[in-house]
Structure 1
Amino acid sequence: MIITGDDPEYIAFVKARLRDQFLMTDLGPLRYFLGIEVSSTSDGFYVSQEKYIQDLLARAALGDERTVETPMELNVKLQLTDGDPLSDPTRYRHLVGSLVYLAVTRPVISYPIHILSQFVSAPTTVHYSHLLRVLRYLRGTITRRLFFPRSSSLQLQCYSDATWASDPSDRRSLSAYCVFLGGSLIAWKTKKQTAVSRSSVEAELRAMALLTAEVTWLRWLLADFGVSITTLSLVLSDNTGAISVARDPVKHELTKHIGVDAFYTRAQV
């Protein structure tokens, strides 16, 4: 059990009451929980999964010591028919499942794992080679950690992006976002869009709508925690067309096919 808070007397009181009712041992400050390592310093907290990665690499039994600079090559378009089917896909499925959990502290692998997880039903040799690349990247960056400073601003700053028609199998786009609370990265996601976007502007606008919903929920959640967010939450996008549509309610002919995403984003603003 994890007890959080900043009142040491009340924390001690809760522990004493729990010991009266349950057989339990106080393990002290949080250091390791479900494969996640937490270290505390005067500046803040570091969160990592170094031991988890070591165990994962041992299970993968890579035949070399190579490392790579990035988890996936640029502009890779994987398809179901690439390569030869694996005779036993069990290892592929096991490794992909483990990497999904690893993305809890390694947001940089969120995108490649999203791509590779789409082939778990029938993986091929090409898919497996790209999976091994992710493992080699992790081997070379095993000591990297997420940092959460003790003192930070309470402004939410959010980044949205999309890849238009990037999936060659169904031409659907990918939405991606990340959210910072001050200097702390607190949320990120890569997700295939549910509909085919007919322009890059539409794809980017759908990504903005996904992020807008996340930011709205985070503001409610922080309010429930007693954290008052009085500043504006910045939602940043690199597509001027999507920004223009989100701002301008007059462009009916240009946005009619997009549906409710433009209006939802504008309503939240």
Structure 2
Amino acid sequence: MLYNHLSEYLTSQGYVNNELCPYVFIKKSHSGFAIVAVYVDDMNLIGTPAELEEITVHLKSKFEMKDLGKTQYCLGLEIEHCSDGILVHQSYYTQKVLRYFNEDKGKPLSAPIPDISVTVNLLAKYSNAPTHRHLNSVKAIFYYFKGTTNLGYFYTHKSSKKAVPPFSSWVDSYRIGYADVGYLFDPHSARSQADYLEGLPSKR
């Protein structure tokens, strides 16, 4: 019910969304942009300062709501607001998962795993009758989480024309990533395929 009223109001204010992202509303202007992301009865507002102030005032006048300040935690992601950028990580959530499965005392593993989602998807196929090999693979994933608990992504405030942004005091280097997704890639199984390429630039 709340979503319907909110959707009608945002649409009347010039916000647009589509069927693929019905809970994300976007408005662009000559001076900037504003994005309203809705999750159940919570909202995240993203955009340029003037547009954020405008939509905040309008929403408070139309709906009964409370401003909780800058987003610090969202769907398992921790967001730290720094002077020169934003650090996004999952330290708390990772530690919570490790404790739940009694793997928080395991041996840390920092060797990279190409794609966690693919590995988990493959192991899930054998969840009804797992072997020791599958259980060891699951433990390897936990050990990888243990060894990478304090890692995250840093997004700098400063824009740069270079492919690699300037280094920050928060991190030693920046991760560069590319992704490509082919929907219904396989004509026989109607499955999609996703490819990722990530790397760390070297300092010069």
Q: TM-score, normalised by structure 1?
A: 0.42
Q: Does 1:35 align with 2:76?
A: yes
Other-structure match for 1:131: 138
Q: How many correspondences in the alignment? A: 141
SS at match of 1:3: strand
Cα offset, 1:51, TM superposition: 0.8
Which of 46, 54, 70 is residue 4 of structure 1 equivalent to? 46
In structure 2, what is the Cα distance between the partners aligned to 1:12 and 1:33?
A: 21
Runs of 4+ in 1 over 6 A off after TM superposition: 154-157
Other-structure match for 1:48: 89
Quick one: which amino acid aligns to residue 75 of structure 2?
A: L
In structure 2, what is the Cα distance between the partners aligned to 1:145 and 1:63?
A: 19
Cα gap change, 1:117 to 1:148, in 2 (>3 Å): farther
Quick one: which amino acid aligns to residue 150 of structure 1?
A: H
RMSD, aligned CA = 3.8
Cα gap change, 1:125 to 1:195, in 2 (>3 Å): farther
Cα gap change, 1:189 to 1:127, in 2 (>3 Å): farther
Cα offset, 1:156, TM superposition: 7.7
In structure 2, what is the Cα distance between the partners aligned to 1:189 and 1:109?
A: 16
Quick one: which amino acid aligns to residue 142 of structure 1?
A: T
Quick one: which amino acid aligns to residue 48 of structure 1?
A: H
In structure 1, what is the Cα distance between the partners aligned to 2:65 and 2:121?
A: 39
Q: TM-score, normalised by structure 2?
A: 0.54
Identical positions, percent: 25
**Could you tell me whether the CA contact under 8 Å between 1:48 and 1:144 is conserved in 2?**
yes
Cα offset, 1:10, TM superposition: 3.2
In structure 2, what is the Cα distance between the partners aligned to 1:115 and 1:126?
A: 13
Q: Within 5 A, what are the aligned runs for 1:4-83?
A: 4-7=46-49, 9-62=50-103, 64-70=105-111
Q: Deviations over 1:166-225 (max 9, x none)?
A: xxxxxxxxxxxxxxxxx664654799x7489xxxxxxxxxx9xx76xx9xxxxxxxxxxx
In structure 2, what is the Cα distance between the partners aligned to 1:32 and 1:132?
A: 27
User: Structure 2: where are the runs of 5+ without partners?
Assistant: 1-42, 165-173, 198-204
SS at match of 2:57: helix
Whose Rg is larger?
1
Cα offset, 1:52, TM superposition: 0.6
| Greater RCO (CA < 8 Å, at least 6 residues apart) | 1
Quick one: which amino acid aligns to residue 6 of structure 1?
A: T
